[in-house]
Amino acid sequence: MADVYTDLAKKMDELPQGFPATESGLELKILRKIFTPEEGLVHCTYNVQMGQTFVCNCCPCCCGILRGAKDYNAPYMLASSNLVALIDPDDCTQCGVCADERCPMDAIVEEGGEYGVLSERCIGCGVCIPTCPTEAIQLVRRPESDQDTPPADLIDWSVQRAGTRGLELELE
């Protein structure tokens, strides 16, 4: 697993705004801590295909975007993903950890003795997966009709966003 963190740190170091690797390896220690599944953080970045410049590690109690999405009952509208959690009822032991302790959007509900995912609330973060004792939860692709193709890069994202607000950007 350490190779994943080393690769991520090197990639971030290659970015123009990336943080430089230190002699002490502090950046690797930080990455190992924040990417630990037990922390229950939602890992976010720009929703573009290329040109990632940051990774945000959010919890719904402190992150204004996640908290707002949850409180205003519009998680999938504000934090959309082409993935959604799926619980296999045959493997689920109904322990409730996923619903009671893990899902930051209250997308997992118990109904009739079985747990299921409300796809309109699920943001596809996968925070529910690591603590499932029977590995009954997985992320799957949403139906093609519910998927969005992210903009190519931040420039394309900015042009699209301006367009949805009635502004026309001319790029030379």
Cα–Cα distance list, 14 to 21, 54, 154 (Å):
10, 12, 18
Q: Which CATH code is given to the segment(s) 39-143?
A: 3.30.70.20
Largest Cα separation within the chain, whole Å, is 59
Digitized pLDDT (tens) for each residue of the chain, 172 residues in all: 445 445 555 555 554 444 445 555 665 666 666 666 677 888 777 778 887 777 778 887 788 888 888 887 777 666 778 889 999 999 999 999 999 999 999 999 999 999 999 998 898 988 999 889 999 999 999 999 988 888 888 888 888 888 888 888 777 6
Q: Count CB neighbours of 37 within 10 A.
A: 12
Whole-structure pTM over 0.85, yes or no? Answer: no
Q: Count CB neighbours of 55 within 10 A.
A: 14
Q: Which of 90, 89, 108, 88 is nearest to 98 (CA)?
A: 108
Domain ranges for the chain? 1-35, 39-143
